Chains A and B, each alone.
Chain A
Amino acid sequence: MIDIKTNTENGMLELAISGEVDASSSIHLDNALNEALSVHKKILVDLSGLDYISSAGLGVFMSYLQQLEKENIQLVVFGMKEKVFEVFQILGLDQLLTITDTKVAALVKIENA
C-alpha cells in the first residue's frame, strides 16, 4: 500500500512515495527518510503518487525537521494532490516544509538554496 522508489541523479536523491501512508505503513517512510538523510544533502520528495497520509506520516516528516536544519540538508517536497496538501494544511505543516507544485519548481528551490 506504500511504494517508495529512490533515484540518485547529479548527487541529488529523489524519493518517490506513492500509495497510502497510515499508522501501519509510516514505518517504511520513516526508514526511507532516515536512510536518505544519513547520506544526502539534497533530497527531492515526489508525492504525486500519494493518495492518502494520516498523522503517522505527517509525524515522520516533522520528526526530521530539526535534523534538516542542523545538518543543513535541503529537502523539497513536490507534486502533492490537493486532498493530500489539505491534510498538511490543517495543522500548518505546509509552513514548516518546503513544498512546490512541480518538480521543476522543486529543482529551482533546491539549487538556489
Chain B
Amino acid sequence: MHKFKTSCKREKLREIREFISNALKEIGFSENEAHKVILAVDEVCANLIIHSNKCNPTENLEIYVEDNKQGVVTFDIVDYGIGFNYSNYKEPNLEEIVRKRKKGGLGIMLVKSIMDSVEFSQEKNKNVCRLMKKFQCKK
C-alpha cells in the first residue's frame, strides 16, 4: 500500500503526480500506461481541491494506492470537504463547452475514459473516490 497526504492547494498537484508516478513504477506500469493513470488521479484531486475544498490549505487530501496483485490497482482518494454528487453528474457535450466558452467540465470525462471503474462514496464527513485500473504488469 502506498500512502500520501497533502493539503488542499493547487500547487500540490505536481507532488501528487510524482507520488502516483513512483507508486506505478514500483507496481510495474509502463511509462505510457502510467501517464494516463496519473492524469486521471490528477483530475480527481484537482476537482476535490478546487471544488470540494475551495483550495483551503488547512484541509487535507489522502491518497492510497493498492496493487491487489491480480492486474488491478485501486486508488482511494479521501477528503473531508463538500462531497461530489456523482449521481447528479451529467456528461457535458463538447459542442456546448466550446459554445459557452467553459473551461471546466472535461476532467471527469477524462477520468471515466481512462479508468475501468469510478465510484464516489460518503460516510459521515469523509468522502472517498475509488478508481480502479486494470493493467499488464511488465515485471
Contacts and interface: CB of A to CB of B under 8 A. Distances in A.
Interface residues of A, number: 27
Q: For chain B, give the interface size range.
A: 20 to 34
A100 to B, nearest CB: 21
B42 interface: yes
Interface in B1-41: 10-11, 13-14, 17, 31-32, 35-36, 39
B97 to A, nearest CB: 6
A54 to B, nearest CB: 5
Interface stretch (A7-15, A39-47, A62-70, A102-110): A62-70
Contact of A22 (B42, B94, B98): B42
Contact of A91 (B31, B46, B103, B106): B106
Interface stretch (B59-67, B78-86, B109-117): B109-117
A86 B32 CA distance: 10
B107 interface: yes
A32 interface: no
A66 B103 contact: no
Which label, helix, strand, loop or mixed, suits the secondary structure of the A interface? helix
Given A1-B14, A22-B46, A23-B46, A62 B99 contact: no
Q: Which 4 A-B pairs have the closest CB atoms?
A: A24-B10, A55-B106, A59-B103, A23-B46
Interface of A: 1, 20, 22-24, 26, 30, 52, 54-56, 58-60, 62-63, 65-66, 82-83, 86-87, 90-93, 96
25 contacts: A1-B14, A20-B14, A22-B10, A22-B13, A22-B14, A22-B42, A23-B46, A24-B11, A52-B17, A54-B107, A55-B107, A55-B109, A55-B110, A58-B106, A59-B97, A59-B104, A59-B105, A59-B106, A62-B106, A63-B98, A65-B98, A66-B101, A87-B39, A91-B109, A96-B98
